[in-house]
Structure 1
């Protein structure tokens, strides 16, 4: 297995295709949620994923502060359905937090989390900063991590 972190410009056409394919599978097909998955923000993100034999196992995109929010952010977080329960989400978030905190030197990270994952993100140091709300018909909550406490 191999971790990859690339800017939009560094992605090959095959990598970009595979990322979009897996994101649509998780966020549109699996969650039965028709929404614009290809949202125009990918060119401003760093893309982090775990690959195993050419297969994307876990993925997220990272944004420095000032792009999505005044804080840095992590989004489009997923683990491929067939690979869930193997600890990849924890490893993915640890890698993402390391990049944002240690490499980029960011002070805070904001995420829009699906509410059912609240305990998972809380275990990583995130705190709720909003009430639960519907985003594309799915309950979400805004969460914040102060990197000085991490």
Structure 2
């Protein structure tokens, strides 16, 4: 699959203020306004994470953060997975997950990867090898599940 988006992969300190603003705005547009969740998005995990941003024509279309092991879960995690409403239906979510998995593997090797997924996206994440690894729980009034993708060759 050829990338449709131009990807930037940065530590928090490498982000410009303009890039950080764009990331926080996209996350607020989707998680706070669109999904009507009132929560503190800036949870201090951004400071220790890597940030994957996908741009089309200079506009941020997709974002995920790669959280190091031990910060959210025992395994590295992919979190704050989001695609702009302007970019939905164009395959950006698939591209985002593929590139995110590649980046986790480049940083940490062949290890399990954990996500906290909205339940309605379970099949989407299963298509990338993630399997449910916890019970359904409510987070900001939305059903979620923990999902884990085993490392290659691991059960």
Q: TM-score, normalised by structure 2?
A: 0.92
Task: Give the Cα separation in 2 of the matches to 1:144 and 1:98.
Answer: 15
Matches within 5 A, 1:51-90: 51-90=55-94
Q: Residue deviations 1:5-26, cap 9 Å, x none?
A: 0000000010001100110001
Gaps of 5+ in 2: none
Task: Give the Cα separation in 2 of the matches to 1:23 and 1:13.
Answer: 15
Paired residue secondary structure (2:73):
coil
Name the stretch that deviates more: 65-74 or 119-128.
65-74
RMSD of Structure 2 on Structure 1 (CA) = 1.3
Aligned residues: 150
Which of 93, 109, 124 is the equivalent residue of 2:128?
124
| 1:37 corresponds to | 41
Deviation at 1:80, TM superposition (A): 0.2
1:50 matched to 2:54: yes
| 1:148 corresponds to | 152
Task: Give the Cα separation in 1 of the matches to 2:92 and 2:63.
Answer: 9
Question: Deviating runs (4+, > 4 A) in structure 1?
Answer: none
| 2:9 corresponds to | 5
Does structure 1 retain, via aligned residues, the 8 Å contact 2:45–2:67? no
1:108 matched to 2:112: yes
Which of 136, 139, 146 is the equivalent residue of 2:143?
139
Deviation at 1:55, TM superposition (A): 1.0
Which of 84, 94, 97 is the equivalent residue of 2:98?
94
Q: TM-score, normalised by structure 1?
A: 0.95
Gaps of 5+ in 1: none
Which of 19, 24, 29 is the equivalent residue of 1:20?
24
